[in-house]
Each structure stands twice: as structure tokens, then as C-alpha cells.
């Protein structure tokens, strides 16, 4: 007797965690990617100060997702991590470097240049690796007897390189629009200037990926093209967000560009999810086949349902406390 | 030469987990010490305790931050290198490891911020409560991790069906036979680590005559604690050993370097175990003492390594010598604690430069002892990953090649070398600038203080340029 479909609940939780992570770590990774292009060191200070209060909680979702997958969908954990072995290492190394760069840049003067580099490279590598993960999820993995049987670099194909670069561009766009929201004067003007070309780049890459995906994976083709259905609303909504973003930048709106970019990400993400649903280890395994024993899912669910509201409240409180513009000289002098 | 992914994965796991472990081992002990300082301040209103608490909280913040950074890798390692084990044991392992994460996040979101940044901003009682909750949280975190590890040593409460472990009883799996021993052994090890580090730093401050009043009190308190804890650890360690004797006799045989089951087994002080010959060279031992310790009878029987075939034997020399390093350092700790009690007469303990220098040096000892102890228990379990049920070779990721494993091993060593250098460099600064009157402490103003970035609790500059800025 089952009162709830635990696997479904867990899929929703993990799915929620993934998009929370992408949106929240996305804009601060994006600022790292934009770092070398910033007009001057003062702009860099403002960029870093704009995320200093909030980026801490962002990686919470990554660790929670990693541990949650082992608890709820061990097959995902046991196939994705071996298949993406090298990519996972690069991502973790990137995240660690940018993490310590973040901490020590604030406390340095002479070594600051090195921490800047670590912050930028760490962010870029981590973003690329995450994009490549998305690409290899679309591609699927050779799995036999519930174990990955491919080679070490199967995940690195022209398609995944494109998704990697695409996510880098997407994160940079998130970062630029976040900066519009959080800065003013010269820095904001710079952020306004780079947003339209970034948007064009993102749309171009997304378009290529969307056209390419049905050829990489036949199941996706059938899902989208067998008949026209409601899911076609998702790309339309994503395009609507892109248009809103373009218009908002032209009208020099401050908050709308960021919100529109969030929308662009959310609808693209949902589009990806419906392409695959309910397959979680492509090409073959659904969320129910990848699940751990129901008693384990239930045992863990109690703790996670307890902690998620607390983490959300903490996060919301942080954003509220640190709302408003970051000005030069804020933070440190 | 053929690269062996199994050996390389074991080395990588050992490296990452050892590197990570030194931070929590210290913070668990230190969190309790900070809570104690807050309690004393609350009771006595003596500002000495407040100064000590403020300084050690800064150290705590940096070490906790390093632990978080190095811990991120841990939650992915099980999958990258030990995917088959992770998948097979996920029903138990998944919830245990996730609960550790859940505990840590709850702690950070709810109490760590108050502890790190609340000084002077929240009422004393609230600050004390936050300190207590952080200390409690560190115990709950280690509870989950040590339960998972103990289950791998003494798996109970599960049954193996179609290659997967299924839970038959949560309480039997969580509170498996070796758990309580390992937990208390580890708690005491954390207290000893915290105690010796605080004693060592206080001794150094006394040598350079900085804040003598506070550091005398800190040193005195630590030495009393160590005088109780160090011998207690020997007793708990003995119980832990007897528990291991019951459940993993081959491990104990390797610790003793005893190849054949026999009575009147000597306690070996020196030997060169040789797995090919299934015997030791150059043995020096105390007759019948191992039998006396393990069976509480000089004529008692001690199991032998060769009771299992050579391919099921651990690397004996590593287990044997790591055990001697751990026990040797433990005995040294007891000696140092006793010497401290002796030197109290006439207050020489605060002025005897040789003893203070010795305490400085001893602050490294507990870290080495803890790592040696973990090497004993982890390599002593080999070739088993889940004792008696799954070998390390079976648990390994099937698609993993030697080249991949070597790439990430070298990579993690390089990444952690940078992290460790930066962290240690910074920690040295924090200690060097610590316990000064507040007006003289160089700090950089105004980094945004956040609980999930514990390092933001310290405003000590990282490099000398910034320090000059801060002073001017």
C-alpha cells in the first residue's frame, strides 16, 4: 500500500533543487565569467560585493542535490558521476578555487590579481562543466546492468561543448542583468551595454541546441514533433521572456531584465524536463527504476522536508537584508 | 607499468578523506571548548573568558570554512570512484550521508551566524545558547558519518538481495555493534585535539608574554581537561580494540603483528612484518602482554593473520606501524598531561620554557594520532569495503581506468595543496595577531559577514600589503 508516490515527490524536490542552484549560483558564476571584461578594478569590487552576501547559500543546493540523489535516486548518482568523472573533477576544482578566491580576495591587496584570476577561471570552468553535464544528459549514457560502460571522455562531444559554452553565455547573461539590478552609474551602463549581445549569443546557442537535440536523441524528437501539444507553450514563453528582456534593456528598466532572464532559464529548463520526463537516466531508466527503497526515501524525506523551509527562509531573509544597490566603497574601503 | 584504478582510487579516497578529516576533528573539540568559555563568561562575567571565546571563535570560523570547502568533494567521491558500492549500499548510506548534510545546513542557517557575529549584538544568554547548539550540531554531524563508517565495518540491520543492501532494521543498522565504541573514541580524540591545540597556542602566547592572565587560565583549564581525557581515551581505546577483536579479529591480529593463533602472545614494540613469509623479522616484544591486554589473561589466545588466506589479509606493516604511532602518541599525551600536573606546584607550569615549548610541539600530535588511527581501522578492514560482504574491488566503479584515477588524484593533490597553503597561511596570521588588545588588532573593515561563509568572521588581512592598509 502506498499513500504517496515517494519517487515523484523526490523528483520534484531534486528538480526544484537543480533549478534553484542554476538560478542562484548561475548569476554569481556569471559575474566570475564577466570578471576579466569589467571596465576597472572598482567595477570588480562592486561585482563581487553584489554577490558576497548571497552566494554562500547558493552552493547549499549543489551539495544537497548530490547527497539527495544518493539517497533517493542512487542509480543517477552511480551512473552520472562515473560517466562524467573528469567533468565532475573540473567542476569541483573550479568551485573550490572560486570559493577560496572569494574569501581571500577580500582580505588581500598585493595578491588580489591572483585571486581575481582564480575567481574568473574557477567560475568559467565550473559553468562549462555544468553545461556539458546538461548536454550529456540530453545525449544519454551507455549503461549495461545498471552501470556505466562508456569511456572517460564520451561526455565531451561537439554537442556537449556547445551546451557547455551555451550555459557559460547564459550564466553571463544572468550575471549582467543581476548587475543592472544591483549597480548604478558607469558599472550599470556597462552592464546595459553587454546585455543585448549576450542575449543574442544565448538565443543563437539555444536555437542551435534546440534544433540539434532531436537529432541527438530520437525520443526527444517524438516527444516534440509527433503532434503539436501544450508543451510548445514553453519555448514560446521562453521567447516571450527574451523579448521582454530586450525591451526592458532598451527602456533602461532596472529589475525587469533580471526577472526576464530568470524566466528564460525556467522555461528552457522546463522544456528540457518535459523532453525527457519521466526518464532520469537516459536513455532507459525512469525515476521509478532509479529509485532507492521506499523506506529509505521516506526516512530521508522527513529530514529534508524539515530543512528545506529553513534554508529557504534563511535565503529569503538574506536577500531581503542585502536588498538595494551596491555602491563603491560599500563593504570595504 | 599498468596503472591500477583500485589502488589509485584507494589512495585518492585516503588522501581526500584524511585532508578533510583534520578540520572537523579539530572543530568538534573546539566547538565544545568555545561553548564552555561562553558558559564560564555567562556565570562569572569575567572578561577573560569573553576574550578567549572571541579569539577561538575566529580560529573556529577559519577551520570550519576549510572543512566545508574540502568536504564538498567527499559527497561526490562515493559516486565517481565507488559507484557500485554507492549504488548497492545507497538504501543505508544515502540517508546517513544526507542527514549529515542536512544537520550541517540547519546548523549554519540557524546558529552559526549568531555564534560568529553575535558578540555584543545579542544577549549573552542567546550567544551561549548558539554556542551550545553549534557544539551539539558538530556531534550530530559526526554521529551520522561515524554510523555510516561503522556500518561498513560491522554491517547489521540489512540483508543483501540481488546485489543490493535492503534495510531490515534501521536501529540495528544505525547502532551497529562497533558504532558506540568508534563514536566515543572519536569524540575523545576531538576533545584531545582541541585541548592540545588550545594548550599549544596558549603556551606560545605565554612564551611571548601576550595577554598572560587569559592564557594562563586557558592553559590551566586545558591541562586539567587533558589530565582526565588522555587516560580516559586509553581506556575507551582498549574497549574499542576488544570490540574489534570480536568482530574483525584479523584486523586486531595485524595490529599486534601476530600471524598464528596462539597463547602467551607478546606485545611487539618493534617488528618488520613480511606478508610473503607470513612472519615478522627483528621482533622485539614484551612477553605475554598482548594476550593480557586482549584476553585479560597472560595465557589468553590471540587470533592470527594467517587464519585467512593471503588475499584476504590487509597490508600488515601499514596497520602494525600506524597502530604503534597512534598508541605511542597517546602514551606521550598522557605523559605530557601528567607532567603538567606535576609542574603546577609553585605555578612553574606557566613559566617553565621547556615545557611550554613542548606543549607548542604537541599541538600537532593529536592530528597525527587521529590519522594513524583511521589508517589502522580503514586499511585493517581490507580487502573488505563492507566487512565480509563486499570487497573494495567489487565496489569500484566498473568504467574507471587507471589513467582517469591518476588524473584526478594528481588534480586533487594540487587543488588541496593550494587550499591548504592559503588556509594555513591565513590561520597562522590569525593566531599571530590573536589575543592582542582590541585596538592593536589589524583588521580590514566591513567584509559582509555571513554564516555560510564562516571565514567572513575573521577580518585579519591575508597578506602584508593589506595589513599595512589596515593599520594606516
Q: Is A59 on the interface with B (CB under 8 A)?
A: yes
Q: For B144-185, what is each residue's pLDDT tens digit? A: 999 999 999 999 999 999 889 999 999 999 999 999 999 999
Q: Which domains occur in chain A, in start order? A: 10-320 (1.20.1630.10)
Kindly state the percentage of chain B with pLDDT values over 90. 67
Say yes or no to pLDDT of A311 above 70: yes
Rounded CA gap, B186 and B191, in Å? 9
Q: Is A146 an interface residue toward B (CB < 8 Å)? A: yes
User: Which of B72, B446, B447 lies closest to A96 in CB terms?
Assistant: B72
Position A183 pLDDT exceeds 50: yes
Q: Please state, in angstroms and rounded to a whole number, the distance separating the CA atoms of residues B127 and B124.
A: 5
Q: Which of A101, A276, A236, A325 is nearest to B462 (CA)?
A: A101
3-state secondary structure of A67: helix
Closest approach of A220 to chain B, Cα-based (Å): 27
Q: Return the residue of B nearest to A330 by Cα.
A: B446
Task: Tell me, yes or no, if A74 comes closer than 8 A to chain B by beta carbon.
Answer: yes
A147-180: pLDDT as tens digits:
898 888 888 999 999 999 999 999 999 999 999 9
Query: In this structure, are residues B185 and B330 in contact, taking their beta carbons and an 8 Å threshold?
Result: no
Pick from B437, B48, B37, B38: which is nearest to B213 by CA? B48
Q: Roughly how many angstroms between the first and final C-alpha of chain B, as a whole number?
A: 59
Name the pairing type of β-strands B158-161 and B164-167: antiparallel
Question: Measured between alpha carbons, how far is B451 from B436 in angstroms, rounded to an integer?
Answer: 25
User: In angstroms, rounded to a whole number, what is the distance separating the alpha carbons of residues A91 and A25?
Assistant: 13
Q: What are phi and psi of A140, to 5 degrees?
A: 90, 165
Question: Which range, of A174-183, B103-112, B248-257, averages the lowest pLDDT?
Answer: B103-112
Query: Of B271, B235, B228, B230, nearest to B253 (Cα)?
Result: B271
**H or E stretch at B284:** strand B279-286
Asked if the C-beta of A331 comes within 8 angstroms of chain B's C-beta atoms, the answer is: yes
Cα separation, A176 vs A191, in Å, equals 5
Q: Which member of A77, A85, A110 has the closest CB to residue B404?
A: A85
**SS3 state at A149:** coil
Using CB atoms, which residue from B65, B106, B455 is nearest to A310?
B106
Cell of B11: 589512495
Tell me the mean pLDDT in the region B8-14. 93
Best mutation target among A20, A50, A100 (most B Cβ atoms within 10 Å) is A100
Report the C-alpha gap between A178 and A49 in whole angstroms.
12
Q: What is the DSSP letter of B448?
A: P
Angle CA B160–B97–B22, to nearest 5: 120
Interval A129-139 mean pLDDT = 91
Using CB atoms, which residue from B78, B426, B462 is nearest to A70? B78
- pLDDT grade for A214, boundaries at 50, 70 and 90: confident
Which residues fall within 8 angstroms of residue A275, CB to CB, at 6 or more apart?
Answer: A138, A213, A220, A223, A224
Q: Is residue B396 within 8 Å of B82, Cβ to Cβ?
A: yes
**Does the CB of A204 have a partner CB in chain B at under 8 Å?**
no
**Do residues B280 and B271 touch, judged by C-beta distance below 8 A?**
yes
Q: Indicate the range of A44-58, A161-175, B62-76, B119-133 predicted with least confidence.
A: A44-58
| Cell numbers linked to A172 | 553571463
pLDDT value, residue A218: 79
User: Does position B471 have pLDDT exceeding 70, yes or no?
Assistant: no
Residue A332 has pLDDT above 50, yes or no: no
Rg (CA), chain A: 20
Closest partner residue to A74 (CB to CB) among B86, B423, B468 is B86
Residue B253 has a pLDDT of: 94
Residue B35 has pLDDT above 90, yes or no: yes
Closest-CA distance of chain A to residue B231, Å = 38
CA atoms within 13 A on the CB side of A107: 25
Does the N-terminal peptide bond of residue B72 adopt cis geometry, omega within 30 degrees of 0? Answer: no
> Closest Cα of chain B to A163: distance in Å?
22
- Ranges of each domain in chain B: 1-176+401-472, 239-397
* Distance between CA atoms of residues B244 and B248, nearest Å: 5
Q: Average the pLDDT over each of A162-166, B104-108, B462-466 and give the range with the smallest value.
A: B462-466
CB atoms inside a 10 Å sphere around CB B118: 17
- Residues of chain A with Cβ-Cβ distance to B78 below 8 Å are 70, 77
Q: Is A33 within 8 Å of A198 (Cβ atoms)?
A: no
How many Å apart are CA B82 and CA A78, to the nearest integer?
8
Nearest by CB to A109, from B170, B448, B469: name it.
Answer: B469
- B50: nearest Cα among B211, B171, B164: B211
- Respond yes or no on whether the N-terminal peptide bond of residue A278 is cis (omega within 30° of 0): yes
Residue B242 CA, chain-centre distance (Å), reads: 21
Q: Categorize the per-residue pLDDT at A319 as very low, low, confident or very high, splitting at 50, 70 and 90.
A: confident
ipTM: 0.87
User: Cell numbers at residue B380, please?
Assistant: 585493517
H or E stretch covering B43? helix B5-44
Q: What is the pLDDT of residue B465?
A: 61
Residue A101: what pLDDT?
82
Which residues of A are less than 8 Å from B109 in CB distance? 57, 310-311, 313-314
Given a cut of 60, whether residue B360 has pLDDT beyond it is yes
B421-441 pLDDT, tens digit per residue, is 888 888 998 898 888 876 666
Q: What is the residue-averaged pLDDT of chain A?
A: 87
Tens digits of per-residue pLDDT, A230-288? 888 888 999 999 999 999 999 999 999 999 999 999 999 998 888 888 888 888 889 99
Give B460-463's long-range contacts (Cβ < 8 A, gap of 24+). B460/A107, B460/B58, B460/B426, B460/B429, B460/B430, B460/B433, B461/A107, B461/A108, B461/A109, B461/B429, B462/A104, B462/A107, B462/A108, B462/A111, B462/B422, B462/B425, B462/B426, B462/B429, B463/A107, B463/A108, B463/A109, B463/A110, B463/A111
User: What is the number of other CB atoms lying within 10 angstroms of the CB of residue B341?
Assistant: 13
In this complex, do B453 and A63 lie within 8 Å of one another by their Cβ atoms?
no
Q: Could you tell me which of B243, B206, B245 has the C-alpha nearest to residue B223?
A: B206
Residues of A in contact with B100 (CB under 8 A): 67
Q: Check residue B472 and give its pLDDT.
A: 46
- Please state the pTM of the whole predicted model: 0.90
Model pLDDT, residue A333 = 32
- Across the interface, whether the CB atoms of B95 and A100 are under 8 A apart is answered no
What's the Rg (C-alpha) of chain B? 24
Amino acid at each position: 500500500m502506498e499513500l504517496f508516490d515517494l519517487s515523484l515527490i523526490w523528483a520534484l524536490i531534486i528538480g526544484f533543487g537543480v533549478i534553484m542552484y542554476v538560478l542562484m549560483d548561475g548569476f554569481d558564476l556569471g559575474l566570475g565569467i564577466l570578471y576579466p571584461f569589467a571596465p576597472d578594478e572598482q567595477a570588480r569590487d562592486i561585482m563581487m560585493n553584489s554577490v558576497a552576501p548571497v552566494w554562500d547559500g547558493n552552493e547549499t543546493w549543489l551539495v544537497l542535490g548530490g547527497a539527495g540523489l544518493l539517497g533517493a535516486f542512487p542509480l543517477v548518482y552511480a551512473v552520472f558521476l562515473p560517466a562524467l568523472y573528469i567533468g565532475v573533477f573540473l567542476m569541483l576544482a573550479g568551485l573550490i578555487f572560486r570559493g577560496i578566491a572569494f574569501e581571500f580576495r577580500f582580505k588581500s591587496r598585493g595578491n588580489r590579481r591572483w585571486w581575481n584570476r582564480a575567481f574568473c577561471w574557477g567560475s568559467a570552468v565550473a559553468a562549462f562543466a555544468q553545461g556539458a553535464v546538461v548536454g550529456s544528459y540530453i545525449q544519454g549514457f551507455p549503461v549495461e546492468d545498471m552501470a556505466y560502460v562508456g569511456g572517460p571522455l564520451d561526455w565531451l562531444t561537439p554537442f556537449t561543448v556547445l551546451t557547455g559554452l551555451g550555459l557559460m553565455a547564459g550564466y553571463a547573461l544572468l550575471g549582467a542583468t543581476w548587475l543592472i539590478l544591483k549597480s548604478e552609474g558607469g558599472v550599470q551602463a556597462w552592464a546595459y551595454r553587454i546585455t543585448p549581445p549576450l542575449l543574442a549569443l544565448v538565443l543563437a546557442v539555444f536555437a542551435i541546441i534546440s534544433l540539434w537535440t532531436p537529432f541527438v536523441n530520437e525520443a526527444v524528437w517524438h516527444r516534440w514533433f509527433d503532434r503539436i501539444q501544450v508543451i510548445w507553450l514553453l519555448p514560446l514563453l521562453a521567447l516571450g521572456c527574451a523579448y521582454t528582456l530586450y525591451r526592458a534593456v532598451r527602456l533602461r528598466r532596472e529589475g525587469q531584465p533580471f526577472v526576464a532572464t530568470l524566466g528564460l532559464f525556467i522555461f528552457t529548463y522546463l522544456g528540457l524536463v518535459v523532453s525527457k520526463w519521466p526518464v532520469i537516466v537516459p536513455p532507459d531508466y525512469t525515476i521509478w527504476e532509479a529509485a532507492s527503497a521506499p523506506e529509505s526515501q521516506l526516512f530521508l524525506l522527513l529530514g529534508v522536508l524539515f530543512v528545506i523551509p529553513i534554508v529557504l527562509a534563511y535565503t529569503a531573509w538574506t536577500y531581503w537584508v542585502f536588498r538595494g544597490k551596491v555602491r563603491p566603497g560599500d563593504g570595504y574601503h | 607499468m599498468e596503472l591500477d584504478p583500485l589502488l589509485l582510487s584507494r589512495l585518492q579516497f585516503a588522501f581526500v578523506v584524511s585532508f578533510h578529516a583534520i578540520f572537523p576533528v579539530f572543530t568538534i573539540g573546539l566547538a565544545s571548548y568555545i561553548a564552555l568559555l561562553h558558559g564560564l563568561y555567562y556565570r562569572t562575567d569575567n572578561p577573560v573568558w569573553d576574550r578567549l571565546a572571541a579569539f577561538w571563535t575566529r580560529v573556529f570560523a577559519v577551520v570550519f570554512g576549510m572543512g566545508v570547502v574540502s568536504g564538498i568533494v567527499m559527497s561526490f567521491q562515493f559516486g565517481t570512484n565507488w559507484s557500485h558500492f554507492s549504488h548497492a549500499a545507497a538504501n543505508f548510506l544515502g540517508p546517513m550521508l544526507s542527514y549529515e548534510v542536512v544537520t550541517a545546513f540547519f546548523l549554519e542557517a540557524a546558529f552559526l551566524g549568531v555564534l560568529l557575529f553575535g558578540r555584543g549584538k545579542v544577549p549573552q544568554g542567546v550567544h551561549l545558547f548558539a554556542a551550545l547548539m553549534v557544539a551539539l550540531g558538530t556531534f550530530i554531524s559526526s554521529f551520522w558519518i561515524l554510523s555510516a563508517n561503522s556500518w561498513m565495518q560491522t554491517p547489521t540491520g540489512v540483508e543483501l538481495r540481488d546485489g543490493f543492501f535492503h534495510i531490515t532494521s534501521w536501529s540495528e543498522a544505525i547502532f551497529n555493534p562497533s558504532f558506540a565504541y568508534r563514536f566515543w573514541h572519536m569524540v575523545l580524540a576531538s576533545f584531545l585535539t582541541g585541548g592540545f591545540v588550545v594548550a599549544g597556542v596558549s603556551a606560545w602566547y605565554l612564551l611571548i608574554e601576550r595577554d598572560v592572565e587569559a592564557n594562563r587560565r586557558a592553559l590551566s583549564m586545558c591541562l586539567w581537561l587533558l589530565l582526565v581525557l588522555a587516560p580516559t581515551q586509553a581506556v575507551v581505546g582498549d574497549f574499542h580494540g576488544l570490540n574489534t577483536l570480536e568482530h574483525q579479529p584479523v584486523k586486531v591480529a595485524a595490529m599486534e603483528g601476530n600471524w598464528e593463533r596462539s597463547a602467551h602472545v607478546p606485545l611487539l614494540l618493534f617488528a618488520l612484518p613480511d606478508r610473503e613469509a607470513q612472519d615478522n623479522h627483528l621482533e622485539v616484544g614484551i612477553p605475554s602482554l598482548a594476550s593480557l591486554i586482549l584476553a585479560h589473561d597472560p595465557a589468553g589466545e590471540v587470533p592470527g593473520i594467517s587464519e585467512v588466506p593471503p588475499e584476504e589479509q590487509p597490508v600488515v606493516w601499514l596497520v602494525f606501524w600506524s597502530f604503534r604511532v597512534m598508541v605511542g602518541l597517546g602514551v606521550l599525551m598522557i605523559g605530557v598531561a601528567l607532567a603538567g600536573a606535576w609542574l603546577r606546584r609553585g605555578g612553574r607550569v606557566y613559566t617553565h620554557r621547556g615545557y611550554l615549548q613542548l606543549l607548542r610541539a604537541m599541538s600537532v600530535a593529536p592530528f597525527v594520532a587521529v590519522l594513524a588511527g583511521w589508517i589502522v581501522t580503514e586499511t585493517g578492514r581490507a580487502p573488505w569495503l563492507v566487512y565480509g560482504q563486499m570487497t573494495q574491488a567489487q565496489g569500484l566503479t566498473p568504467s574507471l581506468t587507471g589513467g582517469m584515477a591518476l588524473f584526478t588524484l594528481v588534480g586533487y593533490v594540487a587543488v588541496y595543496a593550494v587550499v591548504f597553503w592559503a588556509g594555513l597561511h591565513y590561520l597562522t596570521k590569525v593566531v599571530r595577531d590573536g589575543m592582542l588588545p582590541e585596538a592593536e588588532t589589524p583588521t580590514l573593515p566591513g567584509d559582509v559577514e555571513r554564516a555560510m561563509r564562516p571565514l567572513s568572521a575573521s577580518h585579519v588581512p591575508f597578506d602584508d600589503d593589506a595589513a599595512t592598509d589596515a593599520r594606516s
